Structure 1
């Protein structure tokens, strides 16, 4: 498993033009217009290497942003956004989501997969019983958890390979799990 990058909308989760939510602005940093970034990339400073950014504000307005500069500090990632020149403008960016094209993320290492690439895949158990589709994956500290949903039913499956997640076939659009669907 590689970077826990959450997914972002769209019905075709594997389309080449798909955008991925990688972080958000959480406030102003200093008085010169820098912003604090909550990054969901691993490492968290990797967000600065993915370009261009598409920013989405609380009202759903979007704009592409080129020329972001930033750095990692002891308290997180700080960025300079073009056109944001003072603390008031930086504070007005609070809550803005940061998206990048899925295509700019590096290819996962052999045997690894981005969480976002699992979203929407069909989940079947080793006996061939359909358990819905991958809704999302989240960390717990001990291990990651794959969430499969079918209608109102939801399964929380420890993302432990190969014990519970026995196979991932991105080409076939399927995750096979060793999990009792009645559990």
Structure 2
């Protein structure tokens, strides 16, 4: 899932989509998208006519959706693409790949597991949990030094004062 239809845009069937991806390029890598709604038995496939960046998402034009009425019917639909269509850099990961990783400090000390991810405008925030403790870790190159999906680990170098491991 790379986004969610939030509303119709204009009169000619454009869809305003909140994007879970960093840029509209994720939508441009696929000639088709699938829309899924709870009330539908199966996701429906649509040919992508155009994609344009718009605020914190994209404007999506789909073949067969040519009026505001048709577009409004798709409000709330999840936008999916085939995983093989996603264009990503070497340092980009799917959220499901990161959730559950064991997080270690650069000193070798175990901090906790990635329990969730918050998407922010500047960068994502990894939530690292150990028992009742949880730390927000900015997903920046300065802090996150290594991600090894094969071994299921993440190495971080926290900024001064970011973690107070002695605080209860």
In structure 2, the CA distance between the partners of 1:72 and 1:98, relative to structure 1 (3 Å rule), is same
Task: Please report how far the alpha carbon of residue 107 of structure 1 lies from its aligned counterpart in structure 2 after TM superposition.
Answer: 4.5
Q: Which runs of 5+ in 1 are unaligned?
A: 1-20
| Aligned alpha-carbon RMSD (Å) | 3.0
Cα deviation per residue 1:105-162 (whole Å; 9 max; x = unaligned)?
22423xx232523233222333332512342253363x54221134543211233434
Q: Which runs of 5+ in 2 are unaligned?
A: none
**Equivalent position SS for 2:3:** strand
Give the structure 1 partner of residue 12 of structure 2.
32
What TM-score does the superposition give when structure 2 sets the normalisation length? Answer: 0.73
Give the structure 1 partner of residue 23 of structure 2.
43
Give the structure 2 partner of residue 16 of structure 1.
none
Task: Please report how far the alpha carbon of residue 175 of structure 1 lies from its aligned counterpart in structure 2 after TM superposition.
Answer: 0.5
Give the structure 1 partner of residue 59 of structure 2.
78
Structure with more relative contact order (C-alpha pairs < 8 Å, separation 6 or more): 1
What TM-score does the superposition give when structure 1 sets the normalisation length? Answer: 0.68
1:29-178 alignment to 2 at 5 Å? Answer: 29-59=9-39, 61-72=41-52, 77-109=58-90, 112-114=91-93, 116=95, 117-125=97-105, 126-139=107-120, 141=122, 144-162=124-142, 164-178=143-157
**Equivalent position SS for 2:35:** strand
In structure 1, how many angstroms separate the alpha carbons of the residues matched to 2:82 and 2:54?
Answer: 28
Task: Please report how far the alpha carbon of residue 182 of structure 1 lies from its aligned counterpart in structure 2 after TM superposition.
Answer: 4.5
Task: Please report how far the alpha carbon of residue 169 of structure 1 lies from its aligned counterpart in structure 2 after TM superposition.
Answer: 1.1
